[in-house]
Amino acid sequence: MKNQLNRRDFLKLASLMPLSFATPRFLKKLGNSQALQNGRKNVIVVVFDAFSAYNISLYGYKRETTPNLAKIAKRAIVYHNHFAGSNFTTSGTASLLTGTLPWTHRALLPNGMVAKPFVTRNFFHAFQNYYRVAYTHNSWAYTLLKQFHDQMDQLVPREKLLLGSYNGLIETLFKNDEDIASVSWARTIKIQDGGYAYSLFLSNLYKVLEEGKVANLKPMFPRGLPTSQTDIGFLLEDAVDWLGNLVTDIPQPFFGYFHFLPPHFPYNTSLEFYNRFDGDGYKPLSKPVDIFATHMINADALKYRREYDEFILYVDKEFGRFFNALEASGLLENSWVVLTSDHGEMFERGLIGHMDTLYQPVIRVPLFIFEPGRKDGIDIHTPTSAIDLLPTLTHMTGQTMPDWAEGVILPPFLDANPDPNRNVYAVSADKNDPKAALTQASTTLIKGRYKLLYYFGYPDFGVNELVKLYDIESDPDELVDLYNSKQEIVAELLSELKSKLDEVNKPYL
């Protein structure tokens, strides 16, 4: 019996080989479209760290920092008064991901973690019938994502998008204590700006090795490569390219959370935008010095602001590129795309950065929602909060809306008109024991046109209680404190805020 393949049979079979390569991909796409036909669209949440709405030209900033966003926003729902849950990464990101405020999720300390119940009360749990994937450059956000790891299908290691760093070894060796091990490693081996490190000899060798690895990229970043300061650097271009490929390769429907570090300090923009605003004559408003002021030299604030604005240009360009890639791949038609931030940044009142205070530049952040298939834009001016994203996206994708979420469904997705007098809070208590009642915190209540700031427990700054009131509609720059002239409103809002504090403190008393 002759059962051997002859040459002709072999060639016939060989001609089928390309089909065998294409089949799995085709079937995956078929599976995807079936899933999408069930109405379950993908969700892509892109977070740019420390991205203040105040510095975005689309929101009225005098420097043109976001030309690409301005173009694509014509197809987006743009939220003009959107507030982060806090003023720094840990608390702000935890609020966004859990849909609860810091006084509830308790990720209060820098690099802290959420309270145990919230390990299963977050976006990843809410989208459990989706493919869930997350990535962040930010080590503090990564601490939170690691907490939610069991709720995800894929947590991409932070190292993935960091340029040829040796941190991977440290992060692998000390995976349960990555942040502090990395900080110590950085202090040991990386020669700081001034030229010092714990290590006397190896730090010099390490510097030579590192510089060799990124030497070809240096001319493209005159201020240095974008970095989280504990790594050798990263490129947002790489992150965007990687993300573009990832979202076309993973199973659909998916929920993806992607948290990139720019425009967070250090503001190392690319050569293309370097010195773009140098000598442009822009003069920010002069504002009263705050009690937490640390940077009294105005020239420093101006310089940092300019560098930050130039870094935003880099973010704007790369997000635009990502958006175009989504559109080209057809994913935009089947995906909810959200652009937002965990907190803002400020360069005024003797403050540079984003700790302690809750002025608008630090808590007012961008929110753009690109609805699948939307062709025209909508502007929403009602105050909204980071905690609203979770209920909104679960509602819009047909997921069960969690009963523990503290936010509301964002306009225009709510059938009823939004409540203009809704209470929007932001909280920062980065020195407060997460397991104790709040005794030292910066809090704010935004209601309608008024914003009440209430700081308490800062004896080092000479105040045990400090209250300020601003009319953010007529005075968006918070120049005039209405504490003395609007005593009734102060009393009403303060009473509401204190009642809320009593309520959230109750379990910890």
Partner 1 sequence: MTLINSKTQLYTRQGLWSLFLMCAFPFHFWTLLLAFRDLSWLIDRSNLWDAISVASYGMIFAFAESLLVFLIAIILGFLVSKYWDSRYRIALISSLILITALWAIASQLFALLSISLPIWLIIFFVQQSHPLRALYVVSLLLVASTVLIPTYLILKSDKALQVILGFIDRITLLAAFYLLFDVIGLIIVIIRNV
Residues at the site binding partner 1, with contacts judged by CB under 8 A:
109-111, 174-177, 180-181, 183-185, 187-189, 194-202, 204
Residue (177 or 503) nearer to partner 1, CB:
177
Which is nearer to partner 1, 6 or 176 (by Cβ)? 176
Least distance (Å) between residue 179 CB and partner 1: 8
The pair of structure tokens assigned to 78 is 């743009």
Q: Considering beta carbons, is residue 177 or 280 the nearer one to partner 1? A: 177
Whole-number Å distance between alpha carbons of 341 and 343: 6
CB of 114 to partner 1, least distance (A): 16
Instruction: In angstroms, give the least distance from the CB of 203 to partner 1.
Output: 9
Query: What minimum distance in Å lies between the beta carbon of 416 and partner 1?
Result: 43
111 vs 360 by CB, closer to partner 1: 111
Minimal distance in Å, beta carbon 432 to partner 1?
11
How near is the Cβ of 120 to partner 1 at its closest, in Å? 23
Residue 236 CA to residue 319 CA, distance in Å, equals 9
> What are phi and psi for residue 368, nearest 5 degrees?
-125, 125
Nearer to partner 1, 183 or 378 (CB): 183
Which C-beta is closer to partner 1: that of 107 or that of 493? 107
Please give the full DSSP string across 443-508, using - where no structure is assigned: EEEEETTEEEEEEEEEGGGTEEEEEEEEETTT-TT--S--TTTTHHHHHHHHHHHHHHHHHHHGGG
The dihedral formed by the CA atoms of 207, 211, 214 and 217, expressed in degrees to the nearest 10: 130
With respect to partner 1, which residue has the nearer C-beta, 109 or 163? 109
Residues whose CB is less than 8 angstroms from the CB of residue 84 and which lie 6 or more positions away in sequence, other chains included: 92, 95, 96, 341, 342, 343, 344, 363, 364, 365, 386, 426
CA distance 122 to 125: 5
Please state, in angstroms and rounded to a whole number, the distance separating the CA atoms of residues 329 and 227.
30
User: Closest CB to partner 1 among 191 and 414?
Assistant: 191
Q: Are 424 and 382 in contact (CB under 8 A)?
A: no
Closer Cβ to partner 1, 204 or 298, answer by number: 204
Q: Which is nearer to partner 1, 116 or 175 (CB)?
A: 175
Least distance in angstroms from the C-beta of 49 to partner 1: 16
Look at residue 214 and give its three-state secondary structure.
helix
Minimum CB separation from partner 1 for residue 183, in Å? 6
The distance in angstroms from the start CA to the end CA of the chain is: 88
What is the sign, positive or negative, of the torsion defined by CA atoms of 34, 389, 109, 113? negative
Nearest-angstrom CA–CA distance, 169 and 175: 9
Q: 318 or 345, CB closer to partner 1?
A: 345
CA atoms of 145 and 264, how far apart (whole Å): 19
Q: Which of 408, 354, 443 is nearest to 54 (CA)?
A: 354
Q: How far is the CB of 175 from partner 1 (least distance, A)?
A: 8
List, in sequence order, every beta strand (DSSP E) within 402-449: 423-428, 441-447
Peptide bond into 434 cis (omega under 30): no
Eight-state DSSP code of residue 197:
-
**Residues sharing a CB contact under 8 Å with residue 281, sequence separation 6 or more, in sequence order:** none
Q: How far is the CB of 180 from partner 1 (least distance, A)?
A: 5
Shortest Å distance, C-beta 455 to partner 1:
17
